[in-house]
Chain A
Amino acid sequence: MFERDDETTVERVIQHLRRPVAIDAGLDARVMQAIAKAPPQRRRVRPLWPLLAAAAVLAAVLIARPWTRSVPKADTLQFVLIAPQAASVALVGDFNDWDPARAPMQTAHGVWATMVRLEPGRYRYAFLVNGVEWRADPSAPAAKDDEFGTPSSVVTVGGRGS
């Protein structure tokens, strides 16, 4: 019973869909007229130059890294003197006001050593052995302009890729 009703319904739908559709004869003309009246639409292209300029500035900053140039780099240096017979050795120089009491060196089997953190600059220094004997650092450039009659050495901390 239900199957018969369904077939009838489907048949009706098919007949309905097969009916010819009446289209207004002036439709095409009206559509074309409306298109002709519409203002021409220009496609907006977003300009690229601001993005390119920003990228160029960013690249320049990253390459130059100006913040690294303005911050001087300190460096930790190790000073060593081999003096097996010495009872005491002090490192004195421009970095500690030439005060022997401020930089006593530690020894291990006659090798005296100490570490000093230095800001960028050129420093004169010397070793004071047993409180009386001045020695230059044999592993560093000599201070050529010694005006006090005792040897000194120089060390330079650059702060630019050093």
Chain B
Amino acid sequence: MILATLLLVTQVAAQDPRLERLDPDARSAVAAIVDSAHGIGLPVEPLIQRALEGATKGAPSARIVAAVRRLTVDLGTARTALGTNAVPAELEAAVAALRAGATPEVLAHLRDVRRPPLTMALSVLADLVASGVPADSAAAAVLALAPKARDADLVEFRRAVERDIALGAPPAAATSVRVNAGANAVFTQGSDPGNPAPPRPRRP
């Protein structure tokens, strides 16, 4: 049993040389988690990236392993909420939304009202919470806009709320005002359909 486990761990580590950047203790533990995640169909790239982030930031091995393990659990919760058809990018964004305070029911509701991919909608939800918007307000706003808004509309909505907050508006009030303002007022601000601006690299 132990031999089999060791062989398995060695195999996974050999499959992804990037894990060589981890300490030996963290490497074997992370490799085992990655392998088990792969076995149940979860995306492994986010797990590897989280481990590499910890290694680059000089985090202790135990913290890296704990972060990877926690992410695995959250990816599983996200997949349960969104369904097995969810792509890795959606699952990662769903994890961010869950950690921001959205419930699995909110994720499932979003899946029902919006055409995939849900990555941007879930991300905007998480980012709104990170800006100070209460989780339930952020979830309600995204669910209200999700059926018809494009990804670019949701990003513009998030920026508008963030601007209002920076100007002193209470986060929840800023969110509800922007939702109630209506899609046209919020989303077409500053755009001129007859004279589109030339494409240029956008900022995050």
Contact = CB atoms under 8 A, between A and B. Distances in A.
Interface stretch (B4-12, B32-40, B52-60): B52-60
Q: Of residues B59, B92, B131, B153, which shows the largest number of chain A Cβ atoms within 10 Å of its Cβ?
A: B92
A158 B155 CA distance: 10
Contacts of B59: 147-149
B63 A148 contact: yes
B150 A120 contact: no
B198 interface: no
B163 interface: no
Contacts, number: 127
Interface in A117-162: 119-122, 124, 134, 137, 139-145, 147-150, 152-162
Kindly state the interface size class of chain A when it binds its partner.
Answer: 35 or more
A115 interface: yes
Contact of A75 (B88, B124, B154, B202): B202
Nearest to A124: B53
A120 B202 contact: no
A162 B155 CA distance: 8
B152 interface: yes
Considering the complex of A and B, which 4 residue pairs feature the smallest CB-CB distances, nearest first? A158-B151, A161-B150, A158-B120, A155-B204
Given A98-B56, A162-B155, 16 more contacts: A72-B117, A97-B18, A97-B49, A99-B56, A122-B92, A141-B126, A141-B131, A142-B130, A145-B99, A147-B54, A148-B53, A150-B57, A153-B204, A154-B123, A160-B117, A162-B152
Interface of B: 18, 46, 49, 52-57, 59, 63-64, 66-67, 70, 88-89, 92-93, 96, 99-100, 117, 119-120, 122-124, 126-127, 129-131, 150-155, 158, 201-204
22 contacts: A75-B202, A76-B201, A78-B201, A97-B49, A98-B53, A98-B55, A122-B122, A122-B123, A141-B126, A141-B130, A144-B99, A144-B130, A145-B99, A147-B67, A147-B70, A148-B59, A153-B204, A158-B120, A158-B152, A158-B154, A159-B119, A160-B120
